[in-house]
Structure 1
Amino acid sequence: MVNFLLKIKAELENLTNLQPQDGCDDPNFPYLFKVKCGRCGEVSQKETCVTLGETIPLQAGKGTTNLVQKCKFCGREGTITMIPGRGKPLTQEISESGGFSPLMLFDCRGYDPMGFIFGPGWKVESIEGTKFEDIDLNGGEYAEYDEKGECPVMISSLEAKFELLK
């Protein structure tokens, strides 16, 4: 069992609590990333999509997983199981300190995740309390104006990393 913790970082201007639309354990939020085979080292050409709400029974009949995939190069099968409850919103304090916030924990067997892709389905709130929902971060940034707080808001310098937990 090898666990990888997905962590995110961004510059938040007049914003706080960046997270998936329905929270860090959103069952419909699509986590998109490439996978690297643990046997041959081949990296998938296309991104893999994993969601908490989609489960597949394991062949051994014990439990479920969120992804079963065969390596196109060596044929080895691997699984990725999402473990909810570890994610936290990226706050303005963490952003200002240059830190990363944990988003999701993945139990990976046979594959290593890499290259998380920011896409649609995010939410954030201004420091004045205005909520911005269904944000698409595919372009790498987000800018808007908070009418209530009378200030510009922005998400930029998005970064993600998978940290190996031992």
Structure 2
Amino acid sequence: MLALQLTAELTGVTDLRPMDVDGDPFYYMFKVSCTSCREVHDNWIGVTRFETREITGSRGEANFVWRCKTCKRESSAMIKSEPKPYQHSEVPKPKKILELECRGCEFVEFKPEGNWEAKGLDSNTPFKEIDLNEGDWFDYDEKAGAEVSVKDMKWEVVRG
């Protein structure tokens, strides 16, 4: 089991999460590595929890099915549950956002491409279409009368 983990400094917002619903799925962007030959695929791959593909020679399905171009082995991955929101805390702590079950491959790097959402810490103001791809994000919460931000993000794919 692998987990996507985030550490970030949230100011004035909480419940940071990808906008990921059935009609508008979020594509989690990863670099993938083959566990047989250790080759890392050149391109970023997008995985969504709402699409499945058949696994060759099996009755099973997975959100991601991939054949390594170096060793020709097929591998697969499943997103195990919906994403967990990253909560505001005084001291930024690593928290699991997503759990993944990988067979024959590992996700080794993540980039937060796509739309994210959060809500005002005290005001509950919804913030939609947050773009984290370039790094830090800043906005203003009219209800709270204060600047809000997501800063110092650190993404890790960890075992467990």
In the superposition, the TM-score normalised over structure 1's length comes to 0.88
Where does residue 127 of structure 2 map in the other structure? 132
- Paired letter, 2:28: Y
Q: Does residue 1:45 correspond to 2:45, yes or no?
A: no
Q: Hey, what's the Cα distance between the residues in 1 that align with 2:9 and 2:81?
A: 25
Which position in structure 1 is the counterpart of 2:18? Answer: 20
Q: Which amino acid aligns with 2:133?
A: N
Offset, 1:26: 8.9
Correspondence list, 1:125-164, <5 A: 125-127=119-121, 128-164=123-159
AA paired with 1:21? M
1:64 pairs with 2:61 = yes
2: CA distance between counterparts of 1:26 and 1:156? Answer: 29
Deviation at 1:103, TM superposition (A): 1.4
Paired residue type of 2:10: L
In the other structure, the counterpart of 1:110 is 104
Please name the residue that 2:2 is paired with.
Answer: 4
Q: Is the 8 A contact 2:54 2:65 kept in 1?
A: no
Please give the root-mean-square deviation of Cα atoms over the aligned residues, in Å: 1.8
Give the alignment's TM-score, normalised by structure 2: 0.91
Number of the residue aligned with 2:85: 89
The number of residue pairs the alignment matches comes to 159
Q: Distance in 1 between matches of 2:134 and 2:105?
A: 27
Q: Is the 8 A contact 1:90 1:100 kept in 2?
A: no
Stretches of structure 2 that go unaligned for 5 or more consecutive residues are none
Displacement of 1:72 after TM fit? 1.7
8 Å contact 2:10–2:151 — kept in the other structure?
Answer: yes
Distance change (3 Å), C-alpha of 1:19 and 1:49: same
